[in-house]
Structure 1
Amino acid sequence: MKSKFLALLGSAMLTASVASAGGYQVNLQGQKQIGMGHVGTGLVLDQSSIFFNPGALAHLRQNGIQIGVSALSSKIAFRDASGGISEARTDNPMGTPFQVYASYGPTDSPWRFGIGVYTPYGSTVNWGNAWQGRFGLNELTLKAIYIQPTVSYRFSDKLGIGAGLVINTGSVNLQRSIPLTDANGQEGRIELDGKSKTSIGFNAGVYFQPTEKLSLGVTYRSKVDAKVEGGDVTYRIPTAGPVAAQFTATEFDATLPLPDNITLGIGFRPTENLTVGVDIQRVGWGAYKALQFDFNGKVGGQESSVAQRNYKDSYIYRVGAQYKVSEMLTVRAGGYYDKTPVRTGYLTPETPDADSRSVSAGFTLALSEKVDLDASFSYINKKERTDLADKSSGVAGTFKSVAYIPGVAVNYKF
């Protein structure tokens, strides 16, 4: 019972069920790019090149500020696989991943300097207090914010390079039921809450435009470890005495890898008004082997736990296009296919991940010479997936996830 308890605890702690990307990654870093299937590595579109390819930033001819936000609405459905008829659905609050970018450089200078603030990981999943897997998870909230100061240099009209530091900060909150009841049948509850220490990574890219119609890009974002030290552990234990003595921990430590990414991108302009982009992205999920928790006391009678994850590296294939209808209006469309990193036997209610299909659309309205309005909408449909979760102590059953994500951004150029 103790090993089962701790395995469920380990599986639930720091992974978020995000319906917008494989694993717990959120790919919503630019409204123009979202409308094109989130392509952008081989393109120069706006200040969001700080994220998509720092090497392309120096090819922007105007300085600017961009502020954007998406409204992430995701739903996950569960059906029992043990021969019963139990079903459950999440009641997730709306997530609001955001992006802020600003860049500046003298008009005739080959240098551009920028800063980006964005949310590549984070969401909330809420299964409630009555579903079958409540002893593994009731509710989980994960937040990660990246701050990226960036510098970019344009060697010529054909070649640019750039790089930036990635400064990560964030937090996590887990709530789950405990299989202990009082005289009235009320179950116990445990909550873990912590802030991650500031950690450092980097983002670097190269942009190359051999002809007016063809552009190429490659970018690498390093792995960052999100570490929680001295997180708070609180309980509602309805039973006193020897059972309560098994739950004495008040703090926990844990580490979650935020994986590295390498992306190759191609941009093609068959006509003056039409731009097509293709990206292939490898996500280094293989770094996520296990999740270990160390407590300063006992949780379920033990002072540490290890939950096996054994994720595998995965690939995302993206394609998108934009067409300039007029000086005022540009329209976009795109899509992607995202291979899940979660192996068979390791599916959990926090990341009931499966191969994802996404379609998206968007547009830009030029409100004035200096102000643009971007809008996008993305629909994500994960394949239905059944798993016994026998290697992760998850909940055996069938999961199905979908997400609807409108977004908007304002660009000011100067």
Structure 2
Amino acid sequence: MKKTTIARLLPAALLALGAGTASAAGFQLLEQNASGIGNAYAGSAAVAENASTIFFNPAGMTQLQAREFSVGVSAVRPSFEFKNKGSVILNAPRIATTGGDGDDAGSWAALPNGYLSWALNKDLYVGVGLGAPFGLITEYDDDWVGRAQSIKFDLKTYNINPSIAYRVNDKLSIGAGVSWQRLEAEYERVATVLPTGISPVPGLSSTFATLDADSDAWGWNVGALFTLSPAMKVGVSYRSTVDHTLEGDLKVEGPAAGLAPTLQSVKAEADVELPDTFIVSVTQKLNDRWEMLGDLSWTGWSSVDQVHIVRTSGLAAGTVAQTLEADFKDTWRVALGANYQLNDAWKLKFGIAWDQTPVKDKERRLVALPDNDRTWLSVGGQWKLSKTNTVDLGAAWLYIPKTKIDNDQSTLGRGRVTGEYDSSVWILGAQYSMAF
């Protein structure tokens, strides 16, 4: 059985740590550290407890020691069980009504991260982060009911984020960074031709079309950290959109390959604008034991609307091979967290969050992304081994309500997928941070 996981990504410099997946709404990856899992990433732009602040708010580097290193890994176990409720598999010129549900298509995988922060003087800091802000993998059995819409959809990002921070005064620090980002995409489905005057094509139902393309692009991020009192900090941060032009090959393989202009293997490209994000965070110490954290974040998912896969060679050059009708909406995420200082060595972490999906309704839900709103319930602990060494542990369970889908692409020869997903996610993580 093939597996479905959300976002298996790994920075090239961290290959030894293994493969990764993530589970935020849409195909955004929150797991840029494991230390935030216990708080459901509440306070992400204000907490600045290790060098991973480079991703969430580079201004937070001014709260760190002179030199800090942080590395972590999150193990993610998503579960996606599809139940068919009347799907029609239309693979012109044949009509079929059989196909599997795919059963549970989730599996364990890992997402690593790494950061380094360095003080040039008491007020000026530089750093670099390695991670993957976006990604997605959904992979089904070849004979599942939605095979004409998608069998495999794999997006990977690799992000290198050099950053700088400056302490303006005791109340304000500012920071900024640039990101080199690589996006790789693989999309596979059963090949189809439009049922408009085209003669029957033998072997079409066992012929597969696969897009394999990649892109390099640049983005940027800025942040500010306000120390309103010894007990209260407020952080704000913004990450820009990243415009990608994916270029690569559209391969058609199987008995029907080459029997029609639209069944030829050709060069292809697709434009996609990955969304921007804005975060406002707060941390508030209530006393020597308790600290509260909060997060309000916005993601501009409406930048992902229609993704046109365009042939750039062959007899059908210049034509659209397929349009992915995402039609996403902008989303909000709200998180609340608490820390309890148990003793000098141990801090306990708790968190809850609501994460809104960018999918508007069941008719526009893609089988490649059976996404829905999710609620995070998180716990964790921080173990201070010494003044310069810290280990964070975290665990989260994500509740996802029943997810209905009714995506009708029958007029395009790709059938209608009607049914329901039963989904949930487990996340376990560990982060090691060291000052030197």
TM-score band (shorter)?
Answer: 0.7 to 0.9
Maintained 8 Å contact 1:388/1:397: yes
CA separation of 1:378/1:298 partners in 2, compared to 1, >3 Å: closer, same or farther? farther
Helix, strand or coil at the partner of 2:35: helix
Task: Give the aligned residue type for 1:144.
Answer: T
Matching of residues 288-307 of structure 1 within 5 Å: 288-297=304-313, 303-304=319-320, 305-307=322-324
Residue 205 of structure 1, CA deviation: 0.6
Task: Give the aligned residue type for 2:274.
Answer: L
User: Could you report, residue by residue, the CA deviation over 1:28-78 in whole angstroms, capped at 9, with x for unpaired residues?
Assistant: 112221211112112221111111111222122342111111112212111
Matching of residues 73-152 of structure 1 within 5 Å: 73-82=77-86, 87-106=101-120, 109-152=122-165
Task: Give the aligned residue type for 2:250.
Answer: V
CA separation of 1:162/1:185 partners in 2, compared to 1, >3 Å: closer, same or farther? closer
Residue 97 of structure 1, CA deviation: 2.0
Residue 306 of structure 1, CA deviation: 2.6
CA separation of 1:249/1:182 partners in 2, compared to 1, >3 Å: closer, same or farther? closer
Task: Give the aligned residue type for 2:332.
Answer: Y
CA separation of 1:240/1:314 partners in 2, compared to 1, >3 Å: closer, same or farther? closer
Task: Tell me the equivalent position of 1:234.
Answer: 251
**Whole-angstrom CA distance in 2 between matches of 1:79 and 1:302:** 38
Matched, 1:26 2:29: yes
Query: 1:329 aligned to 346, 355, 373, which one?
Result: 346
**Whole-angstrom CA distance in 2 between matches of 1:390 and 1:87:** 17
Maintained 8 Å contact 2:138/2:152: yes
Residue 245 of structure 1, CA deviation: 4.2
User: Could you report, residue by residue, the CA deviation over 1:86-134 in whole angstroms, capped at 9, with x for unpaired residues?
Assistant: 633353453322211110004x511111111111112422211121001
Maintained 8 Å contact 1:89/1:127: no
Maintained 8 Å contact 2:350/2:378: yes
CA separation of 1:44/1:296 partners in 2, compared to 1, >3 Å: closer, same or farther? closer
Task: Give the aligned residue type for 2:384.
Answer: A
Task: Tell me the equivalent position of 2:391.
Answer: 373
Task: Tell me the equivalent position of 1:4.
Answer: none
Task: Tell me the equivalent position of 1:262.
Answer: 278
Maintained 8 Å contact 1:359/1:379: yes
TM-score by length of 2: 0.84
Matched, 1:177 2:203: no
Task: Give the aligned residue type for 1:32.
Answer: S
Task: Tell me the equivalent position of 1:154.
Answer: 167
Matched, 1:35 2:19: no
Task: Tell me the equivalent position of 1:57.
Answer: 61
Runs of 5+ unmatched residues, structure 2: 1-5, 9-20, 88-96, 194-199
Task: Tell me the equivalent position of 1:396.
Answer: 418
Task: Tell me the equivalent position of 1:201.
Answer: 219
CA separation of 1:19/1:46 partners in 2, compared to 1, >3 Å: closer, same or farther? closer
Maintained 8 Å contact 1:144/1:168: yes
**Whole-angstrom CA distance in 2 between matches of 1:342 and 1:407:** 28
Residue 299 of structure 1, CA deviation: 9.9
TM-score by length of 1: 0.88
**Whole-angstrom CA distance in 2 between matches of 1:184 and 1:61:** 64
Residue 184 of structure 1, CA deviation: 9.0
